[in-house]
Structure 1
Amino acid sequence: MLKFNVQEKFLIAGGTIAGLAAIWHLLMIVGGPEWYAFARAPQYIVESAKAKTFVAPLGAVAIAILMFTCTAYAFSGAGLIRKIPLLKSALTTVALICLVRGLYISPLFYSVKKLGVWHLTASAVWFFVGVCFLIGTINQFVVKK
């Protein structure tokens, strides 16, 4: 039976959330324009989905690949899969990107009228994922493996 320390559990949680978000992005392709709109995709992406051009699905696939990559690095750092090259650098980068994304609800980016439950929830989730990756990254530098 596999035993994980607290830091590895955080990486597993962050990686799982990233993987689920990747699946969500792929499901938007099937769900169509309404799903893109629900996910607050930019208007040109929603229009692409309505017109059935390649921009919306290509963007969704690209984001899903990035998120699945984050999942792979998280699971590698947790010891679920073999070590991936550049593990420490990747975990650090993902942690910083997610933390910045989590702070994206700042009034500098949105007027108060546009801030809603979706923005607050998405920002809170990505901030949590950033914290998970940060804790897991620290573990990579502290624990000799």
Structure 2
Amino acid sequence: MNSDSNKYLVTAALCCVVAALAHVGCIVFGADWYRFFGAGEEMAQMAEQGLWYPAIVTSVIVLILLICALYGLSGAGVIKRLPLTRLALVVIAGIFIFRGVSFVGLIPMFPENSLTFWLISSGICLFIGGLFAIGSLQQWSKLGSKNA
């Protein structure tokens, strides 16, 4: 890793990769993993029945997390600059932070998810969003170039 790399954005990217791998584990290992991570009994039962819905939803989450990781690495200068990096990092930080603080309003929409799931996942989202926000602020002037 380049010594000039933004450690906050690199850490945010690594957190996204770890989260993506945990979601892949749910797809691969099935209902027990969905239950362990608090995704709700309905998702676990659908996975047990071999329905495609849990795998599709979880795959979309994996894809989004990996895109976030790529933008984090791009913003940190570890990989080539991606299109709209500056905008993407602001949006990513905002979404993670919004998800972290809005869980109370989301709980009624997903009653199968456990309170433990909401508290832990919201804390993780706030942490990752904070990393993206701090890292983006630190890189702001570098990201403002014509390729940002």
- TM-score class, shorter-chain normalisation, is 0.7 to 0.9
Q: Does 1:139 align with 2:109?
A: no
Out of 45, 52, 55, the position equivalent to 1:54 is 52
**Structure 2: segments with no counterpart, 5+ residues:** 109-113
The code of the aligned residue for 2:123 comes to: A
Q: Does 1:115 align with 2:138?
A: no
Determine the structure 1 residue equivalent to 2:70.
72
Determine the structure 1 residue equivalent to 2:111.
none
- Counterparts of 2:28 and 2:115, CA distance in 1: 27
Shift of the alpha carbon at 1:62?
1.1
**Normalising by the residue count of structure 2, what TM-score does the alignment of the two structures yield?**
0.83
- Counterparts of 1:121 and 1:48, CA distance in 2: 23
Q: Secondary structure at the match of 2:78?
A: coil
Q: Does 1:103 align with 2:101?
A: yes
1:15-72 residue CA offsets vs partner (Å, 9 max, x unmatched): 1001110011111112111111222224442232011011111111111010000000
Determine the structure 2 residue equivalent to 1:85.
83
Q: Cα RMSD between the aligned structures?
A: 2.1
Number of equivalent positions: 139
The code of the aligned residue for 1:61 comes to: S
**Structure 1: segments with no counterpart, 5+ residues:** none
1:64-89 residue CA offsets vs partner (Å, 9 max, x unmatched): 01000000000000011000001011
Is the 2:76–2:139 Cα contact (8 Å) retained in structure 1?
A: no
